[in-house]
């Protein structure tokens, strides 16, 4: 589904990703660990196509198409979705309206989707205006549910979320990946699951999200290099015990 | 601000016949009125006043609690309205006030009787029908003690009219515990010069909400209504949504003087220059505590244009709480990218953001008027102007 070949990315003059190779299969959930400043967010931003993240070398393929130079909206329309860490407030743009606009695969029922993330009261508010950390996550998930991407880029689902919200965010994140939500009530659960083979690329610091999603594989990103591939739980346990020092040794 | 050359306009002898039924207006004129928020369907309005050129052509109240009449008749009936007329504005302030004093063409007098809660809006429209007409009007609005009303005041040119001059004096009186919402929609033409001179006073416990919408081009407009909050516990709120396409020159804003303790006010202006010039003034003065005022001028320049925001705060007592927030810029890149990440291309993202910027939901307008404004915004976006 997603293939990244020798990807080098600059922010200004500084190289932040130094030759990333990564493959994520259809329906697979991939976890990315790494300390602050290692380039995790930059990888997501470059995959989505944000300005300011300049690909200096390498390729990104999605569903077999070279999207290295594709504008953001084309990537979105091809099926790449992203949950933002700190999304901007847009004055006068109602959450409801944005949810409707996200739904390019066919009409969705904003009320129904909002119930899933307990956001009914937010539909008529300006998007992200005064939203708390947990509300932002829920609102991002709400938009993703409407968008139904085939690959979800999720930057730190647990950041700024309290324990109570974490339950909900974790559960819905899993539902998004599993196609387990009520967007098309006329389909049976089995049909929905068959239709949905959503892959995920999730950045996590704390690993809390692993309590909720079925993660298949994980790697550590360290100073712009990918290393230490393994089972997510194993890597998390290792980092908890040894920190990222082991990665440094591993790379040298 | 350039002066309006009065000799370019005809200030005498342009009379219009009375119109008994607004449905008799031409389809085009009805549309023009609608664009200024005024409907010919009177069932949803508690009173209506229509001035065309230099004549008041229609004036009718459907509610016993609303007195509405041609200002000239009111001056006669109420012995010159001495209590109100020229009490808030100096008649010698400038040539436009002098013109309205010396050669008065009309305008409305609206009085909402004490204690009356008038649900349906009162509507008035000042229309320039003839080419190159000059119009001097004086409006007086009195909301008596404990009364509530919503006045929609549209100003419009007739279909096809391009040039004209409108000088309008408005004096507003919101009495003790009264509440007034005014919604002004301007629908002028490319060659129309507009000089409203407005002032108001809000007494104890009174509430004034003022909405202003200008989405059509106008040659030049200058207005700076001053509201004095004279009584304790009074509230004033101003919301403006303004677009200046190429050729428009707007010098506008609000001034509020909080002249009593426990007063609150808020001025929020959202302006877009799409080729035109906007001078966006805002002034809040506070002389007593506690008092709280907030001023917001948000400006977007799309393509060409100029926005000059002049926010002013003037506190003269320890403990006043005044704040302002002003910005002039273009649409933020992170907002565009946020929407592009949801699949909108750059144009769609831009127009979605502009549409949100111009959102008038906060004004709580009647549905018909809201639809009309939404339509105008759509037309504006569909045109090359933005």
* Strand A225-230 relative to strand A217-222, pairing: antiparallel
Tell me if B337 and A50 make a contact (CB, 8 A cut-off): yes
Question: Taking the alpha carbons of B344, B346, B348, B352 in that order, is the dihedral positive or negative?
Answer: positive
d(CA A115, CA B231) in angstroms, rounded, equals: 46
- Non-local CB neighbours of A7 within 8 Å, separated by 6+ positions: A17, A19, A20, A21, A43, A46, A55, A57, A58, A59, A60
Band of residue A36 on the pLDDT scale cut at 50, 70, 90 = confident
For A226-238, what is the mean pLDDT?
88
What pLDDT sits at residue B312? 97
Assigned token pair, B157: 């040119």
Looking at residue B10, the DSSP 8-state letter turns out to be: B
**Given pLDDT bands bounded at 50, 70 and 90, which one contains residue B123?**
very high
DSSP annotation of A225: E
CA pair distance A183, B26, nearest whole angstrom = 49
Q: Hey, which residues 333-372 in chain B have their CB within 8 Å of chain A?
A: 333-335, 337-346, 349, 352-353, 355-359, 361
Residue B36 has pLDDT above 70, yes or no: yes
Q: Give me the mean pLDDT over the A80-97 stretch.
A: 94
Share of chain B above pLDDT 90, in %: 76
Q: Which residues of A touch B332 (CB under 8 A)?
A: 88
Q: How far is CA B120 from CA A161, B66, B271, B366, B371, in A?
A: 46, 11, 29, 9, 17
> CATH homologous superfamily of domain A2-251?
P-loop containing nucleotide triphosphate hydrolases (3.40.50.300)
Model confidence pLDDT, tens digit, residues B311-355: 999 999 999 999 999 999 999 999 999 999 999 999 999 999 999
Determine the Cα angle at B158 with ends B155 and B162, to 5°. Answer: 95
Could you tell me which chain B residue has the CA closest to the CA of A104?
B343
Give the integer Cα–Cα distance in Å for B217 and B211: 18
| Mean of pLDDT values over B48-58 | 92
pLDDT in tens, B271-303: 999 999 999 999 999 999 999 999 999 999 999
Going by C-alpha positions, the residue among B143, B132, B235 that lies closest to residue B193 is: B132
C-beta separation of B366 from B44 below 8 A: yes
**Nearest CB to B342 within list A50, A102, A126:** A102
Summarize pLDDT for A93-123 with one digit per residue, the tens: 999 999 999 988 778 889 999 998 999 999 9
Asked whether residue A236 carries a pLDDT value surpassing 60, the answer given is yes
Higher per-residue confidence, B6 vs B148: B148
CA–CA separation, B68 and B108 (whole Å): 7
Chain A within 8 Å of B92 (Cβ-Cβ)?
no
Match 């509507």 to its residue by tokens: B123
Task: State the residue for tokens 């029922």.
Answer: A109
Task: Tell me if B337 and A104 make a contact (CB, 8 A cut-off).
Answer: no
Q: What is the pLDDT of residues A166-197, one digit of tens each?
A: 888 998 898 888 876 655 555 565 665 566 67
The mean per-residue pLDDT over the stretch A21-32 comes to 94
- Mark out the alpha helices in B6-110 (DSSP H runs): 27-35, 71-77, 95-102
Give φ, ψ of A174 to 5 degrees. -65, -45
H or E element at residue B346: helix B346-357
Q: Which residue has tokens 């695969």?
A: A105
Q: Are B74 and B140 in contact (CB under 8 A)?
A: yes
**Alpha helix (H) residue ranges in chain A:** 40-48, 72-78, 95-102, 110-116, 133-147, 163-178, 189-195, 232-242, 245-251
Q: What is the pLDDT of residue B220?
A: 92
Sheet with A65-66, edge to edge strand ranges: A14-24, A2-11, A54-62, A65-66
**Count of alpha carbons within 13 angstroms of residue B215, beta-carbon side:** 25
Q: How far apart are CA A251 and CA B96, in angstroms?
A: 80
How far is it, in rounded angstroms, from Cα A210 to Cα A31?
Answer: 9
In angstroms, the CA B386 to CA B382 distance is 8
Distance between CA atoms of residues B67 and B59, nearest Å = 10
At B199-252, the pLDDT tens digits run 999 999 999 999 999 998 899 999 999 999 999 999 999 999 999 999 999 999
Residues of A with CB under 8 A from a CB of B: 48, 50-51, 71-73, 76-77, 81-82, 84, 87-88, 90-93, 98, 101-102, 104, 126, 143, 147
- Domain ranges in chain A are 2-251
**pLDDT range class, residue A76, cuts 50, 70, 90:** very high
Q: Is B325 on the interface with A (CB under 8 A)?
A: no
pLDDT, position B162:
86
């Amino acid at each position: 589904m997603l293939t990244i070949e020798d990807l080098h990315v600059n922010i200004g003059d500084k190289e932040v990703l130094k030759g990333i190779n990564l493959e994520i299969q259809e329906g697979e959930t991939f976890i990315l660990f790494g300390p602050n400043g290692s380039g995790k967010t930059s990888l997501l931003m470059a995959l989505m196509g944000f300005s300011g993240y300049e690909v200096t070398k390498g390729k990104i393929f999605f569903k077999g198409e070279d999207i290295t130079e594709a504008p953001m909206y084309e990537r979105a329309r091809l099926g790449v979705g992203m949950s933002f860490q700190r999304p901007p407030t847009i004055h006068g743009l109602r959450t409801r309206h944005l949810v409707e606009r996200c739904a390019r695969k066919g009409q969705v029922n904003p009320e129904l989707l909002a119930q899933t993330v307990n956001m009914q009261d937010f539909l008529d508010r300006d998007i992200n205006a005064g939203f708390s950390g947990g509300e932002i996550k829920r609102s991002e998930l709400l938009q993703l549910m409407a968008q139904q991407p085939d690959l979800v880029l999720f930057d730190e689902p647990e950041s700024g979320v309290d324990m109570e919200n974490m339950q909900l965010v974790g559960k819905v994140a899993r539902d998004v990946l599993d196609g387990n939500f009520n967007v098309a009530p006329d389909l049976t659960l089995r049909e929905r699951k068959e239709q949905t083979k959503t892959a995920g690329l999730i950045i996590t610091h704390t690993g809390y999200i692993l309590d909720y999603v079925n993660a298949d594989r994980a790697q550590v990103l360290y100073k712009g290099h990918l290393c230490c591939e393994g089972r997510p739980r194993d890597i998390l346990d290792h980092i908890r015990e040894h920190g990222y020092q082991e990665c440094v040794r591993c790379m040298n | 601000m350039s002066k309006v050359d009065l000799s370019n306009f005809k200030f005498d002898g342009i009379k219009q016949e009375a119109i008994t039924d607004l449905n008799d207006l031409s389809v085009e004129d009805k549309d023009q009125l609608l664009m200024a928020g005024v409907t010919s369907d009177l069932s949803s309005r508690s009173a209506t006043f229509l001035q065309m050129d230099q004549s008041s052509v229609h004036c009718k109240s459907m509610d016993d609690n609303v007195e509405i009449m041609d200002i000239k008749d009111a001056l006669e009936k109420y012995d010159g309205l001495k209590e109100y007329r020229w009490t808030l504005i100096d008649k010698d302030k400038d040539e436009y006030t002098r013109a309205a004093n010396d050669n008065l063409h009309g305008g409305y007098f609206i009085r909402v009787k004490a204690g009356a809660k008038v649900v349906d809006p009162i509507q008035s429209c000042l229309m320039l029908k003839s080419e190159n007409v000059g119009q001097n009007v004086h409006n007086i609005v009195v909301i008596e003690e404990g009364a509530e009303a919503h006045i929609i005041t549209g100003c419009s040119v007739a279909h096809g009219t391009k040039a004209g001059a409108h000088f309008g004096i408005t004096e507003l009186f919101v009495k003790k515990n009264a509440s007034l919402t005014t919604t002004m929609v301007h629908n002028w033409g490319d060659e129309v010069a507009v000089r409203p001179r407005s002032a108001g006073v809000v007494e104890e416990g009174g509430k004034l909400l003022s909405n202003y919408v200008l989405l059509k081009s106008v040659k030049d407009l200058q207005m700076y209504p001053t509201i004095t909050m004279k009584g304790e516990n009074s509230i004033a709120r101003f919301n403006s949504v303004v677009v200046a396409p190429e050729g428009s020159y707007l010098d506008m804003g609000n001034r509020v003087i909080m002249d009593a303790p426990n007063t609150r006010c808020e001025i929020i202006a959202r302006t877009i220059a799409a080729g035109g010039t906007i001078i966006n003034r805002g002034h809040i003065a506070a002389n007593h505590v506690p008092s709280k005022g907030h001023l917001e001028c948000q400006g977007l320049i799309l393509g060409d244009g100029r926005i000059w925001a002049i926010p002013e705060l003037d506190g003269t007592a320890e403990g006043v709480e005044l704040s302002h927030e002003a910005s002039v810029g273009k649409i933020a890149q992170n907002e565009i990218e946020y929407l592009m990440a949801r699949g909108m291309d750059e144009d769609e993202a831009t127009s979605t953001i502009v549409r949100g910027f111009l959102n008038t939901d906060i004004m709580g307008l009647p549905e018909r008027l809201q639809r009309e404004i939404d339509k105008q915004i759509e037309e504006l976006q569909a045109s090359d102007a933005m």
